[in-house]
């Protein structure tokens, strides 16, 4: 049951939705668990905006194994499932992105990296799936940007997925969400180094961008309960202020401004209805059993967006998770997430057995 990292190389030209091209690409991916004989136990994870392929790094509570008491086992026990996650195209954790070498010029892409969409990203994922000879995926799951990718992939390849679980995401990115992302990119662009072709360009700007983002990831109540002062005497150096500085520094030390720019653009142009009759018609193409999960305090992807998904995806179920932490609740509320996912998968298995017995 060992965890391992791999690199998938796609050596052929890859045409993007914008019409631009990559001469090839690579994806870094992480796996945990073992494939069963039938190859029917695959869980595919799509990570959020600044995530990496190591899902145990940022979503560990969902993968606790069966050595624990039953109520503590994660929704996806690695003793039972084979779990895989690929770092997104455009990222900076081993997959082709702005810091990668552009073979046409022999230098990194930096500012010249092409515009990506979630459809480009899931098409790259699907090439990896085909390379691994995975005919079916038991469950496809992801939150935020990853949830958007879950929807696009399930629409584009409806026969592949038995279950999908899109979390805290939407069918079309909202004007509110686009405005927040643009404000963050404006912060990056004000960094005097941003125009440079250098891996650290925009490293100060991304700190300000992350501080802006945190306000949309959390809520008034989050800050009131976690960053309030313990005295009435302070004039400066408030906990909330130092927390913003800390979050900005933390992201700048582990992520890259070019990838942040690229992937927020992919989030902005997300619209499952593009090129289709309508958003409703696109969602209606999904054949997987679907559990849509929303966070009750999410102001970035508010719950009406998830309820719209459940309304238009055939036979979808909707569940709400309660959290103090707003949009970030999907990365925090493991116990609630595990409970609703286990219930959903158990009900699906029961329905499948009942259908098999009838036939």
Positions marked active-site: 144, 298, 327
What is the helix, strand, coil percentage profile of the chain, to 5?
A: 40, 15, 40
Contact, 177 vs 300, CB < 8 A?
A: yes
**How far apart are alpha carbons 3 and 245 in whole angstroms?**
34
Contact, 291 vs 86, CB < 8 A?
A: no
Q: Which of 115, 126, 93, 62 is nearest to 345 (CA)?
A: 62
Query: For the chain, what is the radius of gyration of the CA atoms?
Result: 20
Contact, 227 vs 243, CB < 8 A?
A: yes
Contact, 298 vs 321, CB < 8 A?
A: no
For strand 107-108 and strand 82-86, is the pairing parallel, antiparallel, or unpaired?
unpaired
Spell 204-231 as b/e; 16+ CB within 10 A means b. Answer: bbbbbbbbbbbbbbbbeebbeeeeeeee
Could you say which DSSP state residue 218 is in? S
Which residues are CB-neighbours of 11 under 8 A, at least 6 positions away? Answer: 24
Q: How far is residue 344 from each of residues 1, 165, 259, 289, 314, measured CA to CA in Å?
A: 25, 10, 34, 9, 15
Q: How far is residue 61 from each of residues 4, 43, 74, 338, measured CA to CA in Å?
A: 18, 15, 6, 8
**How far apart are alpha carbons 290 and 171 in whole angstroms?**
14
At 185, phi and psi to the nearest 5? -70, -35
């Amino acid at each position: 049951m060992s965890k391992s990292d791999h690199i998938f190389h796609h050596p052929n030209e890859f045409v993007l939705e914008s019409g631009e091209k990559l001469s090839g690409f690579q994806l870094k991916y992480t796996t945990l668990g073992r494939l069963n004989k039938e190859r029917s136990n695959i869980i595919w994870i799509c990570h959020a905006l600044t995530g990496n392929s190591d899902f145990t790094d940022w979503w560990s509570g969902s993968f606790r194994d069966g050595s624990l008491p039953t109520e503590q086992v994660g929704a996806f026990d690695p003793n039972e499932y084979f779990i895989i996650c690929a770092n997104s195209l455009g990222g900076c954790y081993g997959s082709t992105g702005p810091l990668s070498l552009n073979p046409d010029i022999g230098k990194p892409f930096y500012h010249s990296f092409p515009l990506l969409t979630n459809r480009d990203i899931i098409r790259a994922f699907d090439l990896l799936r085909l390379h691994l000879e995975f005919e079916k995926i038991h469950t496809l799951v992801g939150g935020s940007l990853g949830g958007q990718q879950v929807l696009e992939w399930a629409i584009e390849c409806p026969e592949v997925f038995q279950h999908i679980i899109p979390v805290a995401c939407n069918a079309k990115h909202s004007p509110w969400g686009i405005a927040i992302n643009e404000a963050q990119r404006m912060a990056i662009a004000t960094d005097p180094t941003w125009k440079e072709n250098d891996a650290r360009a925009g490293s100060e700007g991304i700190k300000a961008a992350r501080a802006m983002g945190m306000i949309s990831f959390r809520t008034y109540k989050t800050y009131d309960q976690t960053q309030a002062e313990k005295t009435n005497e302070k004039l400066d150096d408030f906990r909330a202020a130092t927390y913003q500085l800390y979050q900005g520094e933390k992201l700048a030390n582990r992520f890259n401004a070019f990838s942040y720019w690229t992937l927020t653009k992919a989030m902005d142009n997300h619209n499952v209805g593009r090129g289709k009759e309508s958003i409703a018609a696109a969602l209606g193409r999904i054949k997987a059993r679907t559990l849509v999960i929303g966070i009750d305090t999410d102001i970035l992807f508010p719950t009406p967006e998830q309820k719209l998904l459940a309304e238009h995806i055939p036979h979808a179920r909707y569940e709400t998770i309660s959290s103090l932490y707003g949009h970030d609740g999907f990365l925090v509320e493991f116990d609630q997430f595990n409970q609703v996912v286990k219930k959903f998968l158990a009900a699906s298995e029961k329905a499948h057995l009942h259908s098999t017995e009838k036939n």
